[in-house]
Amino acid sequence: MPTQKLTEAARPQTTSRVRERIGRGFDTSLRTGASFATALVVLGVAAAWLGTYEAGGTKTVLPQLFYLPIVFAASRFGWRGTLVTAVVAGVLAGPVMPLDVIAGTPQSVAAWAARLLMFLTIGLLVAWLSGESSDSIISSALDARGAHNLRRALDRFEFDVHYQPIVNLRTGRTTGFEALCRWQDPARGTVPPSAFIPLAERTGTIIPIGAFVLREAAQQCATWEADGVGDLIVAVNVSAHQLSQPDFFTQVRDVLHDAGLRPSQLCIEITETAIVRDRPTALQHINALHDMGVCIALDDFGTGQASLAYLQDFPVDVLKIDLSFISTVDTDQKSATLVAGIIQLARALGASTIAEGIERPAQLETLRALGCSYGQGYHLGRPCPPPLIKTNTGTTG
């Protein structure tokens, strides 16, 4: 039969691969020395103890083959990696303890522990065969727990939005604010965005978090307008996950309607990564938003590999010059030349420019001389909650 022939043909290759794996593990075990041997003894004793227990008066023994995955996993990762991976995976992704285990009978505890150890061992073996490191397993488990914490923080209203001024470099007037998410964790205090935004991106929890920031920013902009602060624009960062949602345009339209905000008062900031994830859907949403009157800004311009190509295909109103160029614009001629080139390109396309990360007066003066339209940075204003913005910044910057 064809299936049998295929299996027989693949058998030598599979055998060779297994031998290579075992040989590699054997070499690793030799290198780890006494520590590795000690760890195997500990694991072996634990497995033997858990493998034999009384269940309903019948003595049950787990097969001796049960030890092999532990040996292989330890050979692949080293004993420390094996132990750490087993503990973390067991705590974060293990089976739920049955009610009879909670009751505390020795038989049920031993049975559950044996099943849990088997679960962990199989997971380690699969990871070893697929070539994953213990770090990747731990990372996945931590991501699952981190995503749970983010969703819980959202339900508990632990997120808030701070606003950083966007200043007209020619007049010095604050013309808008960029909305930036902040996490006020009751136990850890203020959690910096760098500590949770990448996690939210990886796990998809950036979708509800991003929707929250969009709603808050639109409502705050409408509040400023009602208070007579001025005709301000609020800029909101949009992730790849959000932009790939089929109903993203509808979400934005509904948020604007509910807040009573004009589309021209909202600026959607996107990155090259957000476009790459689902280019057709991103193009559809961006075109629809732009046609409605929403400002489109290309963030971190100059750092991607295809930024110029996106300028040809996507409607862009603002180029945000990455801070990697701005940090040395006043001290390095090449940086100044590159920034000047971006500014000229934006003008030719009918777009404006925003320089990110202005922290020194010399940077500000250089950017003004080069003709940059707007700027952001600690020198112009730090991100802060609305009450402080209203008191300290107003519309004059």
Dump pLDDT digits (tens) for 134-156: 454 445 545 566 777 888 888 88
Using one digit for the tens of pLDDT, what is the confidence trace for 89-113?
444 444 444 444 445 555 555 655 6
**Domains in the chain, CATH or no CATH each:** 2-143 (no CATH), 158-392 (3.20.20.450)
DSSP strand pairing (295-301 vs 233-237): unpaired
pLDDT tens digits, 233-256: 999 999 999 999 999 999 999 999
230 pLDDT band, cuts 50/70/90, is confident
pLDDT at 311: 84
Distances from the Cα of 75 to the Cαs of 68, 70, 78, 255, in angstroms?
10, 8, 6, 55
- Spatial CA neighbour of 328 closest among 340, 338, 336: 336
Q: Is the pLDDT assigned to residue 161 strictly greater than 60?
A: yes
Backbone angles phi, psi at 327, to 5 degrees: -60, -30
116 in helix, strand or coil? Answer: helix
Report residue 231's pLDDT band, with 50, 70 and 90 as the boundaries. Answer: confident
| pLDDT of res. 138 | 47
Helices (DSSP H) in 229-297: which residue ranges?
A: 240-243, 248-259, 272-277, 279-292
- State the pLDDT confidence band at 278, using cuts at 50, 70 and 90: confident
pLDDT band for position 390 (cuts 50, 70, 90): low
pLDDT for res 185:
87
3-state class (DSSP) for residue 78: coil
Token look-up 């945000």 returns 320
The percentage of the chain sitting over the pLDDT mark of 90, rounded to a whole number, equals: 44
339 by Cβ neighbours in 10 Å (0-12 / 13-18 / 19+) ranks as buried
pLDDT at residue 343 is higher than 50: yes
Taking only the tens place, the pLDDT of each residue in 63-79 is 444 444 544 454 455 44
Q: Which residue has the higher pLDDT, 15 or 362?
A: 362
Q: Identify the top-confidence range among 5-14, 40-49, 192-201, 315-324.
A: 315-324
> What is the predicted pLDDT for the residue at 327?
95
Which residues, in sequence order, are CB contacts of 120 under 8 Å at separation 6+?
A: 85, 86, 89, 90, 94
3-state class of 75 per DSSP?
helix
Using a cut of 0.75, tell me whether the model's pTM lies above it. Answer: no
Q: How far is CA 222 from CA 260, 278, 371, in A?
A: 7, 31, 31
pLDDT band at residue 124 using 50, 70 and 90 as cut-offs? low
Select from 285, 302, 290 the least CA-distant residue to 356.
Answer: 302
* Distance separating alpha carbons of residues 78 and 38, to the nearest angstrom: 12
Q: What does the pLDDT read at residue 388?
A: 83
Query: Is a pLDDT exceeding 90 seen at residue 30?
Result: no
**Coil, strand, or helix at residue 175?**
strand
- Rounded distance between C-alpha atoms, residue 3 and residue 189, angstroms: 60
Task: Name the residue with tokens 């009573």.
Answer: 260
**Tens of pLDDT, residues 287-316:** 999 999 999 999 988 776 556 777 888 899
Q: What integer is the mean pLDDT of 53-69?
A: 43
Q: What is the pLDDT of residue 120?
A: 57
Given a contact cutoff of 8 angstroms between Cβ atoms, the answer to whether 234 and 221 are in contact is: yes
pLDDT for 202 beyond 60: yes
Of residues 329 and 275, the one with the higher pLDDT is 329
